[in-house]
Amino acid sequence: MSEVLFPRALCAATLGELAAWTSVADLLAAARILEGRTLPEDQPSDTLCMPLEHDEGAFRDIFAILLGYLIEGYSVPQQKISVARMLDRQVSPSTAAQLEALRFKPTVRTGASRSFPEG
């Protein structure tokens, strides 16, 4: 993709703002996992499954590039870590620091929705 039309640093920073979608519930689950006090519903996954309805070559390619920028620019929102610590007083300062250092590194596959297994 053109560095002129889609500058990598700007795209990563802009799409990284979507980190605001990270839920406090997910941060609480991550903290419990890091601290070894998981609940049955704490099920981490490294797979992001996003079947595309429009599996046209150009759209799919641009979407994958922009998704890569989102992944590159992602960081856990500090404000949400603070809220998680207020909700669960067992979250230690070192765990909060680990959460702050976390990055989003999923396994990404693209393709038509019919190419993904159920579940």
Q: What pLDDT does residue 106 have?
A: 74
- Which residue would you say has higher pLDDT here, 75 or 84? 84
CA dihedral 86→88→93→96, nearest 10 degrees, is -90
Q: Domain containing 57: what range?
A: 8-115
pLDDT at 65: 81
Contact criterion met (CB below 8 Å) for 105 and 71: yes
Q: b or e along 35-58 (b: 16 or more beta carbons within 10 Å of the residue's beta carbon)?
A: eeeeeeeeeeeeeeeeeeeeeeee
* Residue 3 domain-assigned (yes or no): no
Q: What is the mean pLDDT of residues 83-108?
A: 90
Between 2 and 70, residue with greater pLDDT: 70
Q: When comparing pLDDT for 47 and 34, which is higher?
A: 34
pLDDT > 70: percent of the chain? 78
Q: How many domains does the chain have?
A: 1
Do the domain assignments include residue 14?
A: yes
Is 60 exceeded by the pLDDT of residue 75? yes
